[in-house]
Structure 1
Amino acid sequence: MITRDAQIDIAQLLEEFSAVALLGPRQVGKTTLAETIATVINPDPLYLDLESPTDQAKLREPEAYFELHKGQLIILDEIQRVPELFAILRGVIDRRRRQGHRAGQFLILGSASLDVLKQASESLAGRIAYKELSGLTATEILASQTGDQNRLWLRGGFPDSFLANSDPASLRWRLNFISTYLERDVPQFGPRIPATTLRLLWTMLAHNQGAQINLAQLGASLGITIPTTKRYIDLLEDLLLIRHLRPWSGNVGKRLVKTPKVYIRDSGITHALLNLTDMDDLLGHPVVGASWEGFVVENLLSCLPVGVTPWFYRTSAGAEIDLVIERNRQQTYAIEIKRSLAPTLSKGFYLGCEDIGATRRFVVYPGTERYPIANAVTAISLAEMMQELRLIQ
């Protein structure tokens, strides 16, 4: 079993908050992690799957049910299916607080984004903490010795995909995952969306991994309007399947780009959409560089402390930094991402570092050795860069 880096954080939050929400896409390992944590901190946890009619029936009188199981950690899976529970949880938590029970009451799992859940959970302000669970990361698989970094990059971070018996078996799992999302999960989040259109959009995003998306061009290719295109992309983001990386927007007297980059968050899903089965397929495909960049970005962002903001930097004159990590305008990390084992940096990166006043400069590459490059830049492995970012204060 692979130990998840988030396990310690979630256990600590349960000691401090009455409820903790663990968010992540379906099949990313939320339930397994929740049950692992629950058995450690509570000898008799209770698990309810809110997509199960049987478990939903148990909550016809939720307050009475929760009272019956007072003292147990209750895990509520797929909470976005029953958003009205949030208002009831507030009353239950407040009553228990008055009785001296303040922490570790509910562990809530959801496969929709924080913004979606916040609309329903505002009444729990001060009573709930949030933690997002990404797919398996480079540091997790290296620590558990279950595979190498290239295998994680090819197959992505969904545990069933990563741990499949072969690359073709992994690809079949991901293709089925994509179909299930399009046919079952997407219709739960609003008006009917044609599965073929959304799949085509998803595939187009895979071909343009990490690019600044032109909504008008995408819409024209799909035969839909710009507002509809934006709604479809927002839906994929709400389902935690894609990520918008915003451009840095400080006052440097330069003409900065304003359009965000869009990444498919799981590299394995990117490769499945492009029908890339093994490393030979991937290394021979034009998406290889952008795919590596997206893989590194997602791994790095998975380990950022709360309150740390990620950006990218680009000017119309050509200055560019793949990833800017900023903490209270006091620490600024400039991170370039290169697939080469002998990375070289463009003039645009150095200009960008001067523009933003970068205090730390790195290039993340596929090797394992850490060594200095010109102009105070350090070449560093992905796993070591992740450890650096975890130390940000």
Structure 2
Amino acid sequence: MFERHLKAQLQQELAHSPAVALLGPRQVGKTTLALAVAQGHSSVYLDLESERDRARLAEPELLLPSLFDKLVILDEVHRAPALFPVLRGLIDQARRAGHRQGLYLLLGSASLDLLAQSGETLAGRIAYLELAPLTLLETGAAHQDSLWLRGGFPDSFTASSEARSLRWRQNFIRTYLERDIPQFGPRIAAETLRRFWTMLAHHQGGLLNVAQLARNLGVDAKTAHHYIDLLCDLLLVRRLQPWHTNLGKRLVKSPKVYVRDSGLVHALLDIANLHTLLAHPVVGASWEGWVLENLLACAPPDTQASFYRSSGGAEIDILLTLPGGSLTAIEVKRSLSPKVERGFHAACDDVKPQQRWVIYPGTESFPMAHDIEALPLASACARLQALNAQP
């Protein structure tokens, strides 16, 4: 059992909002976290993938009003989109009866149906949180290489061996392709989508070129766009948008694309152990994507991530815009002796960030020239997480 740092924020939202949606891919630990939070409440748990629980909710207007004094946890709620209009009326009814917060905790494995429905019918009544895979602060810095290799899904990270971990991730991918993804749209051939997902893993951290991906896959660009959108909506792929402002420079406008969990990157590329990973061409991009996901999981809510790249070679790997507008420019290096290249200095001259970090795989922080700090990933995550505690 890991202590998830999102737990405190989830408790806060339940104390102030009538409904909270906790989103995240399957097997990331949403149910475990929800039940841990529910220990402090009188609660009822309903799994909408269970025939029995769906039968109990056949007439929600009869069941749910009797539970206004309890926290009702609805798992895999995207399986019952017709429930959202009902919840709106029940929340308003509960408010009139004096129950104004902590009524419903909605768990969803995808953002597309859940956000579309709840955004339309529960506006002003619901808060959203996203549970990421395990972060370095949650597992401990001593497990850095293992967490990077295996990824942050708890069952993968805690597997008894590297082989069992890889097998778990391969089964996870197969289940998504054959069982879960068909729930969310027109039938897509599992093998076609696996090839597409694998292409993205090979292209980890690269500029998104949908036309090229479509040609390589033998489909049209519209279909490739649909595949990208679907994997992003399932919280499995991230499009990192370029940072834009009126600097009078020619800037790259295409987003970068990442498979969000490093363990899935390695499973898609059949990388079984750390030795193989360190010799693989994807090693640097995999490390960069893993750093990005850890930073965003620990950063304050509403932190925006982007990258900066100009046609003249100025580049910032990750640019975090924190609440309040301050900028942190981050260079990611997979080296114990990190060196900052000219492009980073040129980009910082353009962007003028308040902080400049180099994140590297070592264990000590130290200053570098030009007001740059070299930080271990755990230290950078701890700094960002500390901002959450500030009023």
TM-score when normalising by structure 1: 0.96
The one-letter amino acid of 2:78's match is Q
Amino acid at match of 2:104: F
Residue matched to 1:111:
109
Alignment of 1:265-344 (within 5 A): 265-327=260-322, 330-344=325-339
Distance 1:161 1:65 in 2: 37
Is 2:28–2:133's contact at 8 Å kept on the other side of the alignment? yes
Identity of aligned residues (%): 56
> What secondary structure does 2:238 align onto?
strand
Q: Which 4+ runs in 1 deviate beyond 3 A?
A: 327-330
Note the alpha carbon deviations across 1:232-272, whole angstroms, 9 max, x for none.
11100010000010000011111000000000000000000
C-alpha displacement of 1:217: 1.0
Helix, strand or coil for the counterpart of 2:140?
A: helix
* Alpha-carbon displacement from aligned partner over 1:158-197 (angstroms, at most 9, x marks no partner): 0000000000000000000000000001111111111111
| Equivalent in 328, 348, 354 of residue 359 of structure 1 | 354
**1:26 aligned to 2:26?**
yes
> Which residue number in structure 2 is paired with residue 260 of structure 1?
255
CA distance in 2 between counterparts of 1:307 and 1:337 reads 22
Structure 2 residue matching 1:60: 3-state secondary structure: coil
2:117 counterpart of 1:120: yes
Cα separation, partners in 2 of 1:328 and 1:269, compared to 1, 3 Å: closer
Question: How many angstroms does 1:329 deviate by?
Answer: 7.0
Counterpart residue number, 2:167: 172
Q: Secondary structure at the match of 1:102?
A: coil
Please state whether the residue corresponding to 1:103 is helix, strand or coil.
coil
Cα distance in 1 between the residues matched to 2:79 and 2:358 = 42
Determine the C-alpha separation between the residues in 1 that align with 2:123 and 2:235: 22
1:80 corresponds to which residue?
78
Task: Determine if contact 2:68/2:99 at 8 Å carries over to the other structure.
Answer: no
Shift of 1:391: 4.1
CA distance in 1, matches of 2:232, 2:21: 18
Shift of 1:306: 2.2
Q: Provide the residue aligned with 1:69 in structure 2.
A: 67
The letter of the residue matching 1:218 is L
C-alpha distance in 2 between matches for 1:142 and 1:356 = 33
Q: Aligned residue for 2:236?
A: 241
1:141 paired residue number: 139
Give the superposed CA RMSD: 1.2
Cα deviation digits, residues 200-259 of structure 1 (max 9, x gap):
010011011011121111111111000000101110001000001000001111100000
Instruction: Tell me which residue corresponds to 1:218.
Output: 213
Following the alignment from structure 2 to structure 1, what is the Cα–Cα distance between the partners of residues 323 and 144?
A: 32
Q: Across the two proteins, how many residue pairs are aligned to each other?
A: 387
2:121 alignment partner AA: S
SS in structure 1 of the partner of residue 378 of structure 2: helix
Partner residue of 1:375 out of 342, 346, 370:
370
Between stretches 319-328 and 334-343, larger displacement belongs to 319-328
Give the equivalent residue in structure 1 for 2:146.
Answer: 151
Contact 2:25 2:236 (C-alpha < 8 Å) held by counterparts: yes
- Distance across 2 between alignment mates of 1:187 and 1:376: 50
Q: Match for residue 90 of structure 2?
A: 92
Distance of 1:327 and 1:13 partners within structure 2? 20
Amino acid at match of 2:32: T
Query: 1:26 corresponds to which letter in structure 2?
Result: R
Q: 1:130 & 1:12 partners in 2: Cα distance?
A: 12
Distance 1:187 1:9 in 2: 32
- Structure 1 CA distance for aligned equivalents of residues 323 and 373 of structure 2: 23
* Residues 330 and 52 (structure 1), Cα distance of their counterparts in 2 relative to 1, 3 Å cut: closer
1:46 aligned partner: 44
Structure 2 residue aligned with 1:5: 5
AA in 2 matched with 1:29? G
Match of 1:148, SS state, is: helix
CA distance in 1, matches of 2:58, 2:351: 55
What is the CA-CA distance between 1:71 and the residue it aligns to? 1.2
Query: What is the identity, as a one-letter code, of the residue corresponding to 2:54?
Result: Q
Aligned-partner residue type, residue 321 of structure 1: I
Counterpart Cα distance in 2 of 1:216 and 1:123: 36
If the length of structure 2 is used for normalisation, what is the TM-score? Answer: 0.97
Give the Cα separation in 2 of the matches to 1:251 and 1:391: 32
What SS class does the counterpart of residue 319 from structure 2 fall into? strand
Q: Please list every run of 5 or more consecutive structure 2 residues that lacks an aligned counterpart in the other structure.
A: none
Letter in 2 for 1:54: R
Q: Is residue 71–residue 103 contact of structure 2 (8 Å, CA) maintained in 1?
A: yes
Task: Tell me how far 1:328 sits from its aligned partner.
Answer: 6.0
SS of the counterpart of 1:12? helix
